[in-house]
Structure 1
Amino acid sequence: MKSKIALPVDTLLPRILKALDATEGRSANLVLEAAPGAGKTTRVPPALLDAVPGEVLVLEPRRIAARLAARRVAAELGEHPGETVGYQVRFEEVAGPRTRLRFLTEGVLTRRLLSDPDLRGVDAVVLDEFHERHLDSDLALALLRRLQQRRPSLRLLVMSATLDSAPVARFLGNCSVLRSEGRLFPLTVTNQPYSPAPLESQVAQAVEMLLREGHTGDMLVFLPGAAEIRRAMRTCEELVRRAELLMLPLHGSLTPEEQDRAVAPSTRRKLILATNVAESSITIDGVSAVIDSGLARIATWSPWTGLPTLEIARISKASATQRAGRAGRTGPGRVIRLYPAEDFQLRPDHDTPEILRGDLSQLCLALRAMNIDHPEQLAWLDPPPEAAVRSAESLLDRLGAHGEAAQQLVRMPLPPRLARVVLSAKERGVGEDACLVAALLASGTPSPHPDLLHALDSMRRGTDPALRQHVEQLRRTVRPSRQSAPNDDALLQAILTGFPDRVARRRTSGKTATGAGNQVLLSSGGSAELTGEPGDGEFLVAVDAEDRKDKPLPLIRISARIEPEWLLDLFPERIEERIDLMWNPRAERVEAVSRLVYEELVLQESRHVHPDPQRTAELLAARALDAGMERFVDPEALAQLMARAEFAGVTAPDLAQPLRELCHGLASFAELRAEATHLLPLLERTLAGGRLSDLAPTSLRLPSGRQTRVHYESGKPPWIASRLQDFFGMRETPRIGPARAPVVVHLLAPNHRPVQMTTDLAGFWERLYPQVRRELMRRYPRHSWPEKP
């Protein structure tokens, strides 16, 4: 047995066991706050073996933590993993018939509860590093608390270094809270001022600073993701070579062997570049300096597009404290934070739990498989948001995740979409290729090509050890039939079954204004951007898409072509035929556009004259009004009608209704022009109850028997004009309209030029006519000019 070094939590073990004593039928829960280096992960779980007769499960947030913790505890017991102590993570289980202490990832517990809802033989469950608040950890806590109602003797222990313990203790029935000091050596923390330099350059400068200071231990660098790690490794190559350091990456996409190499002891000083997988759970021996970027890649969910988002965000104070603690586990440590102290003070105390910001489809699928219809049936530490639940339930419905199908999907070590793809592909005889695709998409490994089929060809020839291992593990689980040859269409149809809400169609305009890719229309509405050089095909599925805040449109990193006929075959209930009226501005006519639509995406479109006369008439009339009625009727005649209505004191005529009546049976401006001669008479019949001709006549009969036109202008009295002789015998001025207003009489000479305008004919004959008569007699002697006309 390996000799144990005394750790701070050792003195607390008797109190822990007493708090978890479940005798007399009462439930016994505990929250343990233990500072970094206290030894909670390796000392508390094995101590429970003496307190319970059955098995102890320890939930770890990450696979590497579960493996390392199991190995460390087994070594302290003088055993190998798989004897008293074992572990179980996705695709890997090391355990035997004597195993009583099992370290496992949270998702493994969910699948165990599916096959064994009562956790028979398990007497205690420890939730380690609970402050990380992964989705699976919140689900595990809710399910375990539910199980505890049936099994009060089940012990639950929640452990963390930086947990806000009060809400958790209340959730666990106001249980006890114990605190242990850590074994943390003094830390020297330096905050760097803001720098505009690339992150990888800042890392190299910090490494160089530690080397100048004469630092002799291993260095651990925290970066947001694998891409940032790769860039930093390239930048630090020369520096590492000069200092004779061993530079190693550490992130979730690596094989277990590669992860173990990063944390195992080495004869050479190491520079470990890690994501937050190295933030908690286990001590990495030899690390005495930490360089913290202060950043992490955070997965969230966009309620607007339904797409996942993966953004680089600032970590909380609690996470920064955890990272710094990595440097002080085995001796005095040095910490360089690549951000100012003021920045640290402005950060939140804790990270937002994943259940409040992430996609909940996996959680809801697990509940369905357990015959829990809705998350509301469980008590939660933080209830999941209703909008995210609705979105997840909608997706699961589309994946057909009901009853036995839900249980089949949840047993797959994959997200729901990819589980559906693999099962559908297996039925189509292309399960082996589907395992390749699922491994690529689930692992987060960069795709060799933005077109999925091209990427698949590269993967068939590829040698990426992590991806290859993932594929083989997945094939052992799925057990697909052997493929004699590729069948691209069968595989693509299977992929479509897992992404029915991610269907897209290329815009006909092709390249975007930036030339950076192609824009596509999404079946959910809106647009997205294809990155790289995607394959051919008008219709596609966005199998790897992300809604990023730093981009105007969601990005599609990997796509797969599909045929629109497949949508008809697979999702006939989602296909709808819509007939919409459209205005063709070039032909100036109403046309019907018949569309075959998948959600908001047009699959097929044809144009023809619309058979609905009423709707056609309404649209044609509206476009005619927009164009201006002067295009269809005499503008002067229209103005006259408007002025007559104004003079008659009636409401200004509404052109729309009579125009719609006239447009009935018509579809174009050309047809309307031919029929427009009927518009003004039709409009006139609608005014003043058909009495407009009486109130505002268009002509008057003069004593000579001649009809003269009455002219109307807006804001002016009406007027008539004719030769003076035509008014002989008319003593009084004609009056018209409701108020019997006199018209303005334009008296014209024989050459049709006005000699007088008046509204008082009687006064004209008496006062002015004699003088006008003498002048006209002189100019037009052949005409008769009586003294008393």
Structure 2
Amino acid sequence: MTTAAFDLERIGEGLSFADALDDVAAALDAGRALVISAPPGTGKTTLVPPMLASRSPGRIVVTQPRRVAARAAARRLAQLDGTPLGTRVGFTVRGERAVNRQTRIEFVTAGVLLRRMLDDPGLDSTDAVILDEVHERALETDLLIGLLGEVRELRDDLTVVAMSATLDAERIAAVLGTDATPAPVVDHRVPAHPLTERWAPSPAPRLDERGVTRDFLDHVARTAASAADSLADPTADVLVFAPGAREVSEIARRLQPTGLDVRELHGQLPASAQDAVIRGRRADEARRIIISTSLAESSLTVPGVRIVVDSCLARHPQRDAARGMTGLVTAMASRAASVQRAGRATRQGPGTVIRCIDERAYAASPARPAPEIATSDLTDAALLLACWGAPAGAGLRLIDPLPADSLRDALETLRALGAIDDDGRATDDGRALARIPTDPRLARALRDGGSLVDPRLAAEVVALLSGDSRLPDADIGAAIVALRGRRGADVRRWSQDVERMLRFTTTGNSTDRASSVDAAGLIVALAFPERIARRVDRTADGATYLLASGTRAGVRGSLAHAEWLAVADVARASGRVAAGSGAVIRTAAAITEQQAELAAGHLLTDRVEASFADRRVVARRERRFGAIVRSSVPVRPSPEEGVDAVRRAIRADGLALFRWSDAADELRRRLALLHRELGDPWPDVSDAALLADLDAWLGPELNSLAKGTPAGKIDLTPALRRLLPWPAAAGFDDLAPERLQVPSGSRVRIAYPPADEPDARPVVAVKLQECFGWAETPRLAGGRVPVLFHLLSPAGRPLAVTDDLASFWSGPYAQVRAEMRGRYPKHPWPEDPWSAAPTRHTKARAARE
């Protein structure tokens, strides 16, 4: 590798961050970790990598959250260095690489570096890693911070720098540093050019059940056109922020008649189109209106922008735990993102931001976006961590912990794939899947599907689903046919991805394997068997499908004609919705029932199912595909089938389907108290415990129910008595008696607390006069639980609540006596309750006895 120094003076000409390089050097002289915070456009991405390269002979790797940003940053630095791209400065992104053995600075996406570390965990040829745009809190960047922390423990010569425009510097510094000493922070601030804020709220709603409304897109387009007309500077452009690629294209289409140079900027565009926008324009060329997704918030610099039109909407991942899905939703952009967007107008001079909402709505928006780690599907992340040797992130210093629910779902998926073992460690299969640059489920489908269909078709499907290609009407098969018949940069990128994926498919003679796109659904079904779906409703507006997982989702277009679908992407209905299903199928392929069985035979069941109608068991033989019922006929089950079906029905419906008699309910309460206070051998009688072990206590009753006995006629008292532990059961009535004898001679029933109220106490409600002279509060459960007394008036109304009778007679009783003796003069209210005879009668009757 060449060690020739970079000319920092020439590279940094006109960049304000050049003034901060001495501070960066001083911080790196003192340690190997650093946090840099500086606004967009100051030059940190351009200057810090060559500065580090001038201090060490090895390679400097710079991560970016997006491919277009990695390419643009590399191209810009190579241009300033005066060297061809791919020599001293290069880049590596998915499907594209421009580096050689002499490359000193390599820009990569975070995902590329993560997978590189699986093969080179020590990063032996790398001297420094710069994590750029950390404020975006991309999942892969967060994971890199944790992994690089472990590498630095083994390599004291590895430098790690985190950079961002709006960084929570102290928090990141604490993670990059040690428990005792956080990493130093270089905070570079420059006077901002003046920014004029204008508000242009839409008269129409921005969002409805279908997503972004057409009226709002019209409003954004009109606002952008008006902004362009207001610009006096012929070199100035307008930048419009929209939430997603669809909205970008819709706004661009509305602006085409203006005669302006309308450009789109989003991740689905070919690299050449993205690069053309970033390079800017000559002064003699037409003014541009650039419509962009969040891509241009901070990762990229779009030159010439003096007005920003902000829709104030953003698209971000959101996990739906109930449906077991993660999808993109459109919602209010955070104020932090809006500030980033506005800053693009003041890069080169005074600028203006026009926000398409009012000030009240802006103030109510979230302060900052949620980190991806909190909202994304963690399957790929969990596999990478398992391969790294940190199952579930154990031992890593992460900015935020992995959310428990999402992590649990991810680990279950990986176990089903055979990618991890019971301890969460990667298997050989798991390590092989992790090296395929796609989601682990698609990686598994690629490997297994190559033996069922033509390997190229398998690679085509996986490349399509792994990329950014837009699918007409969500139809995978139609998209592949279109890509096969087209030319262009986007098709070239997909074709390159296909060739790359082919290296991981099954080799050998494939002439007898299906190559038609009709088999594309089989690959999808192999990846996502729980998303195999059957049509359950058809309307003029589309169709509704039931997925094997139990979720209902809608779809429009040609796919609505298919009886069965293999669904690759389903999300909550923040976009287009069919038939009011509440979820939308975003990507799918038609599939036959036979293909579904081939892909997911483990989901097929054929058994007797029982349900309770009017509290009586009704049995049907059902053939199911997960939650999808393929056939259902009433049957008289065999005894074994009937009991098994009853068990499932009770566990599904719960114990509330029985009528609990007072005796059964009281027995359960008494047992619950002893289990809570004494533990074993007294049984757990919570709903969960009883449902988990029905045979241990409900065996004979299960047989009766299977034969048709109504649930309402089942007496649970003898069933619960089967749980009494022998020989300890002999002392049950002493430890938890049904009744308590009070001094008057009455035997009063003890009201035990419900089984699901662990903090409640057993209560005895008794007339106050029946307890005269009683000093020692009785205790249950071997003396562990004092009885709580509700002392009543002669009319049965509560006068006092106490579990300390001695204290009551010595204190509060005098006040009760003063208030009650006139109201109940026929009953005794002695001054000295200690010497009075306890009675449940009036004074006159007590005297006769």
Using structure 1 for the length normalisation, give the TM-score. 0.72
Q: SS at 1:6's partner residue?
A: coil
Pick closer, same or farther for the CA change 1:437–1:468 going to 2, 3 Å.
farther
* Separation (CA, whole Å) in 2 of partners of 1:205 and 1:167: 39
* Aligned residue number for residue 596 of structure 1: 623
Pick closer, same or farther for the CA change 1:532–1:344 going to 2, 3 Å.
same
Contact kept in structure 2, 1:355 and 1:382, CA below 8 Å: yes
Contact kept in structure 1, 2:193 and 2:346, CA below 8 Å: yes
* Separation (CA, whole Å) in 1 of partners of 2:119 and 2:434: 11
Pick closer, same or farther for the CA change 1:421–1:500 going to 2, 3 Å.
same
Structure-to-structure mapping, 1:426-465, within 5 angstroms: 426-463=450-487, 465=489
Aligned-pair CA distance for 1:459: 3.5
Aligned-pair CA distance for 1:218: 1.6
Alignment partner of 1:227 out of 226, 242, 246? 246
Pick closer, same or farther for the CA change 1:401–1:536 going to 2, 3 Å.
farther
Contact kept in structure 2, 1:613 and 1:666, CA below 8 Å: no
* Aligned residue number for residue 730 of structure 1: none
Contact kept in structure 2, 1:581 and 1:590, CA below 8 Å: yes
Alignment partner of 1:424 out of 439, 448, 458? 448
Contact kept in structure 1, 2:461 and 2:520, CA below 8 Å: no
Amino acid at match of 2:638: P
* Separation (CA, whole Å) in 2 of partners of 1:124 and 1:44: 11
Contact kept in structure 1, 2:379 and 2:440, CA below 8 Å: yes
* Aligned residue number for residue 697 of structure 1: none
Deviations 1:686-732 (A, max 9, x none): xxxxxxxxxxxxxxxxxxxxxxxxxxxxxxxxxxxxxxxxxxxxxxx
Alignment partner of 1:501 out of 516, 521, 530? 530
* Separation (CA, whole Å) in 2 of partners of 1:547 and 1:223: 20
Contact kept in structure 2, 1:38 and 1:183, CA below 8 Å: no
Pick closer, same or farther for the CA change 1:331–1:576 going to 2, 3 Å.
same
**1:475 matches 2:475:** no
Contact kept in structure 2, 1:74 and 1:85, CA below 8 Å: yes
Unaligned runs of 5+ in 1: 620-659, 669-789
Matched-pair identity in %: 33
* Aligned residue number for residue 693 of structure 2: none
Using structure 2 for the length normalisation, give the TM-score. 0.67
* Aligned residue number for residue 582 of structure 2: 553
Deviations 1:599-623 (A, max 9, x none): 333344344333349969x99xxxx
Structure-to-structure mapping, 1:263-342, within 5 angstroms: 263-267=278-282, 268=285, 269-342=287-360
CA RMSD of aligned residues (A): 3.2
Aligned-pair CA distance for 1:491: 4.2
Contact kept in structure 2, 1:297 and 1:313, CA below 8 Å: yes
Amino acid at match of 1:252: G
Alignment partner of 1:6 out of 6, 11, 14? 14
Contact kept in structure 2, 1:432 and 1:483, CA below 8 Å: no
Structure-to-structure mapping, 1:150-229, within 5 angstroms: 150-173=154-177, 174-182=182-190, 184-196=192-204, 197-216=215-234, 217-229=236-248
Contact kept in structure 1, 2:521 and 2:589, CA below 8 Å: yes
* Separation (CA, whole Å) in 2 of partners of 1:172 and 1:476: 35
Amino acid at match of 1:273: I
* Separation (CA, whole Å) in 2 of partners of 1:454 and 1:76: 44
* Aligned residue number for residue 64 of structure 1: 68
Aligned length: 614
Aligned-pair CA distance for 1:152: 2.5
Deviations 1:424-460 (A, max 9, x none): 3333352222333233333343323444434433333
Contact kept in structure 2, 1:307 and 1:546, CA below 8 Å: yes
* Separation (CA, whole Å) in 2 of partners of 1:461 and 1:316: 41
* Separation (CA, whole Å) in 1 of partners of 2:704 and 2:399: 68
* Separation (CA, whole Å) in 1 of partners of 2:451 and 2:275: 37
Aligned-pair CA distance for 1:133: 0.4
* Separation (CA, whole Å) in 2 of partners of 1:611 and 1:392: 39
Contact kept in structure 2, 1:422 and 1:434, CA below 8 Å: yes
Pick closer, same or farther for the CA change 1:541–1:281 going to 2, 3 Å.
closer
Range with bigger deviation, 292-301 or 370-379: 370-379
Q: SS at 1:31's partner residue?
A: strand
Q: SS at 2:327's partner residue?
A: strand
Amino acid at match of 1:611: S
Aligned-pair CA distance for 1:583: 8.6
Aligned-pair CA distance for 1:577: 3.4
Structure-to-structure mapping, 1:521-670, within 5 angstroms: 521-534=546-559, 538-549=563-574, 552-565=581-594, 569-581=598-610, 592-612=619-639
Report which of the two structures shows the higher radius of gyration computed on alpha carbons. Answer: 1
* Separation (CA, whole Å) in 2 of partners of 1:662 and 1:223: 64
Pick closer, same or farther for the CA change 1:470–1:590 going to 2, 3 Å.
same
Aligned-pair CA distance for 1:296: 1.3
* Separation (CA, whole Å) in 1 of partners of 2:349 and 2:74: 24
Contact kept in structure 2, 1:541 and 1:562, CA below 8 Å: yes
* Aligned residue number for residue 413 of structure 2: 395
Q: SS at 2:360's partner residue?
A: helix
* Aligned residue number for residue 257 of structure 1: 272
Alignment partner of 2:257 out of 238, 259, 269? 238
* Separation (CA, whole Å) in 1 of partners of 2:627 and 2:479: 29
* Separation (CA, whole Å) in 1 of partners of 2:238 and 2:483: 34
Q: SS at 1:428's partner residue?
A: coil
Aligned-pair CA distance for 1:423: 2.5
* Separation (CA, whole Å) in 2 of partners of 1:320 and 1:614: 61
* Separation (CA, whole Å) in 1 of partners of 2:556 and 2:276: 35
* Aligned residue number for residue 677 of structure 1: none
Q: SS at 2:148's partner residue?
A: helix
Contact kept in structure 2, 1:191 and 1:340, CA below 8 Å: yes
* Aligned residue number for residue 366 of structure 1: 384
* Aligned residue number for residue 627 of structure 1: none
Amino acid at match of 1:498: A
Pick closer, same or farther for the CA change 1:606–1:11 going to 2, 3 Å.
same
Deviations 1:201-249 (A, max 9, x none): 323233223413434312111111111111111111122x1xxx32111
Q: SS at 1:10's partner residue?
A: helix
* Aligned residue number for residue 57 of structure 2: 53
Contact kept in structure 1, 2:137 and 2:372, CA below 8 Å: yes
* Separation (CA, whole Å) in 2 of partners of 1:146 and 1:277: 31
Q: SS at 2:394's partner residue?
A: helix
Q: SS at 1:195's partner residue?
A: coil
Pick closer, same or farther for the CA change 1:489–1:325 going to 2, 3 Å.
closer
Aligned-pair CA distance for 1:595: 1.9
Contact kept in structure 1, 2:95 and 2:496, CA below 8 Å: no
Q: SS at 1:50's partner residue?
A: helix
Aligned-pair CA distance for 1:536: 5.2
* Aligned residue number for residue 38 of structure 2: 34
Aligned-pair CA distance for 1:291: 1.3
* Separation (CA, whole Å) in 1 of partners of 2:78 and 2:708: 88
* Separation (CA, whole Å) in 2 of partners of 1:283 and 1:367: 33
Amino acid at match of 1:529: G
* Separation (CA, whole Å) in 2 of partners of 1:370 and 1:438: 25
* Separation (CA, whole Å) in 2 of partners of 1:390 and 1:106: 24
Q: SS at 1:260's partner residue?
A: helix
Q: SS at 1:57's partner residue?
A: strand
* Separation (CA, whole Å) in 2 of partners of 1:155 and 1:110: 17
Pick closer, same or farther for the CA change 1:37–1:598 going to 2, 3 Å.
same
Deviations 1:236-285 (A, max 9, x none): 1122x1xxx32111100111111011112323222111111111134322
Pick closer, same or farther for the CA change 1:44–1:572 going to 2, 3 Å.
same
Amino acid at match of 1:459: L
* Separation (CA, whole Å) in 2 of partners of 1:469 and 1:246: 26
Deviations 1:98-144 (A, max 9, x none): 11211111001101101100000212111111100001110111111
Unaligned runs of 5+ in 2: 1-6, 205-214, 421-426, 647-701, 711-849
